Amino acid sequence: ADIRRFGGAAIDCCSVASGRLDAYYEVGVQDWDISAGGLLVREAGGRTLDHRPDGPFVCGSVTIFEELVGRLSLAD
């Protein structure tokens, strides 16, 4: 496993949607930072965690999403 940052949240979400990254996690993003990217992830077959303004945003491929959310203890 490796952790990488490519810049803005939108670029990282696009990287998940395209399969370049398995997942993306960040705390402190605003809705406008992840709305379009999150939609791209979902349309590509990935998953996103419902974003709360004071909480983290997580998106990822279906093969890793549940495990990632569980390990981060973010499940509702």
CATH class, 9-62 region: alpha beta
Q: Parse the chain into domains and list their residue ranges.
A: 9-62
**Tell me, what's the pLDDT at 23?**
94
**Tell me, what's the pLDDT at 58?**
94
Model pTM? Answer: 0.85
Three-state secondary structure call for residue 36: helix
CA angle 44, 50, 53 (to 5 degrees): 125
In this prediction, residues 14-34 reach a mean pLDDT of 92
Instruction: Give the span between the Cα atoms of 63 and 35, in whole angstroms.
Output: 22
Quick: pLDDT tens for 35-71: 999 999 999 999 999 888 788 899 999 999 999 999 8
CB 43 within 8 A of CB 14: no
